[in-house]
Structure 1
Amino acid sequence: MTLPPTTFTTTGADGLTIVADRVGDPAAPAVVFLHGGGQTRRSWGRAAAAVAQRGWQAVTVDFRGHGDSDWSADGDYRVATFAGDVLEVLRHLPARPVIVGASLGGFTAMLLAGELAPGTVRAVVLVDIVPDMNQSGASRIHDFMADRMVSGFESLDEVADMIQKYNPHRPRPTDLDGLRPNLRQRDGRWYWHWDPKFIDGTAARPPIEVTEVERMHASVARILRDGVPVLLVRGQMSDLVTEERAEQFLARFPAVDFVDVGGAGHMVAGDRNDLFADAVVDFLTRHAR
């Protein structure tokens, strides 16, 4: 039986409140989960529970502008700033945690471990993200996030319909309450629970680093040079990390472990949490204990 998560907060890089959940023994080695753009820490619920059941403490973080963490008044949503916030979270944890980052969270993990604070982590797991991602897949994600960003949704049924249209391989959820953590109700309508400035082009400092391919490659190279093991977990149906992009990344960095998860798209943990959790735990058992 998994205990409910314990919520804690920390002060981010410029005074914002960053919210995180912990599952498991606070003295155990930590696995820190970083979500993708537009998601929240709740997207990792089942994966965090599976990791905690295997003896780790699992920590899930809401990035600034997402979930229950503060929004940046001046729109500082740079990847380096996300990484700075995560470093503040790490001060609450045992030394040298594992970082698991999906999409935007993966970019954050690269910069944190390879540029901002080398030597801070014991392993890095990149979930369906590589520096040279497929731009058509990235555009599809952007379009999904931008659609209804302003107008919102009339009902949770409408939200579920839109998600299924984006992820047609995933069954439409029957329990719509599971959607609530990613949304907030205002004036009778439902809205995504993240700052629109993050995606609509009005942020003073947007996450431009996601386009800096060579900078990210340099970060991965530094991580590996420091002897930190890296795992790439790809969703086999992903249009962001295509088979070709994954092969190019692995050819450039042959020391990286690789798992291709069948039946999963870009949202690997949500699509096939069982296979995802097993792959991560197997990697941690072999490389990070």
Structure 2
Amino acid sequence: MIDPAVPRPRRITRPDAILRGEEIGAGPAFLLLHAGGERRQVWGPVGEVLVDAGYRCVAYDQRGHGESSGDARALSPCADDVTAMLCAEPPGCVVVGASLGGLAAVAALTDPAVRARVAGLVLVDVVPCLEPSRVRRFLAAAGLLGTRTELVEDILTQVPQLRQVTAELDLPILLVHGDHGSSLADEDIDQLLRLAPHTTVRPVQGAGHLIARDRPVALARTVVAVTTAWR
């Protein structure tokens, strides 16, 4: 008999990559998508809270990260991976995407068939209406601009499409942002609310850009409090 409290390995074979991950818990699913430069393990403390609340958590290393193979040089392959992840789950999944994970999720939701499988979207300190100069300054200050330059520049060229997709989404959206060292400015949040007025916005005190690392329990509790009504 399967113990839901024990992590179970997951694997998805893509045409140009092998995505490795794991799931834990039982119940309605959260698909947890980590930020660029991180691994799925960052979601561990978040997952513990979600599992205790009666949910199942699925997390993969994104392509080119951790145990997953493939190149992460453009947003489109990352979005196609998210599509494959969602198609491996029953309908009704809530997608939680941090930074790169959130943008890949938005890009995947371009497809109406993918949207139909999703109960809602949680963006963790990222918005689709990126302002290129501010993004480059933030990454440069964090010493990250040179590590994935090709991916960053590709994402920035996709901003008009990401904005369009977001404006057309009829899914519930939650934006969780840090209040200390966040990548977002007030105008970024205002732009998201203009694109998708039905978005719920929640700050997490004491968190910067990587909220899953800085304040995992507060992040998880915020997600549960808002998304319970989405299913």
- What band does the TM-score fall into relative to the shorter chain? 0.7 to 0.9
Q: How many Å separate the matches in 2 of 1:110 and 1:121?
A: 11
Out of 121, 130, 150, the residue aligned to residue 133 of structure 1 is 130
TM-score for the superposition, normalised by structure 1:
0.71
8 Å CA contact 1:11, 1:18 repeated in 2: yes
Q: How many Å separate the matches in 1 of 2:152 and 2:208?
A: 26
Q: How many Å separate the matches in 1 of 2:158 and 2:89?
A: 30
8 Å CA contact 2:19, 2:62 repeated in 1: yes
Q: How many Å separate the matches in 1 of 2:74 and 2:106?
A: 13
Structure-to-structure mapping, 1:112-151, within 5 angstroms: 112-115=108-111, 117-134=114-131, 135-141=133-139, 144-145=143-144
Shift of 1:206: 7.0
Shift of 1:200: 4.8
Counterpart residue number, 2:86: 90
Counterpart residue number, 2:164: 218
Evaluate the alpha carbon distance shift between residue 232 and residue 17 of structure 1 in structure 2; reply closer, same or farther with a 3 A threshold.
same
Structure-to-structure mapping, 1:1-289, within 5 angstroms: 3-12=5-14, 14-25=15-26, 28-72=27-71, 77-115=73-111, 117-134=114-131, 135-141=133-139, 144-145=143-144, 199-201=148-150, 208-224=154-170, 228-286=171-229, 288-289=230-231
Q: How many Å separate the matches in 1 of 2:192 and 2:51?
A: 30
Q: How many Å separate the matches in 1 of 2:149 and 2:187?
A: 30
Could you tell me which amino acid in structure 1 is paired with residue 165 of structure 2?
S
8 Å CA contact 1:113, 1:120 repeated in 2: no
Shift of 1:90: 2.5
The superposition leaves residues 221-262 of structure 1 with CA deviations (integer Å, 9 ceiling, x where unpaired) of 2222xxx11111111124421122212322332210110111
Shift of 1:93: 1.9
Could you tell me which amino acid in structure 2 is paired with residue 18 of structure 1?
L
Q: How many Å separate the matches in 2 of 1:247 and 1:133?
A: 12
8 Å CA contact 1:231, 1:258 repeated in 2: yes
**Root mean square deviation, CA, Å:** 2.4
Moved over 4 A (4+): none
Q: How many Å separate the matches in 1 of 2:17 and 2:38?
A: 18
Bigger Rg, which one: 1
The superposition leaves residues 112-152 of structure 1 with CA deviations (integer Å, 9 ceiling, x where unpaired) of 123473322110000001123353354433552367xxxxx
Runs of 5+ consecutive residues of structure 2 not aligned to the other structure: none
Counterpart residue number, 1:164: none
Runs of 5+ consecutive residues of structure 1 not aligned to the other structure: 148-195
Q: Residue 115 of structure 2: SS of its match in structure 1?
A: coil
Q: How many Å separate the matches in 2 of 1:69 and 1:207?
A: 22
Q: Residue 22 of structure 2: SS of its match in structure 1?
A: strand
TM-score for the superposition, normalised by structure 2:
0.87
Q: Residue 114 of structure 1: SS of its match in structure 2?
A: coil
Q: Residue 3 of structure 1: SS of its match in structure 2?
A: coil
Q: Residue 93 of structure 1: SS of its match in structure 2?
A: coil
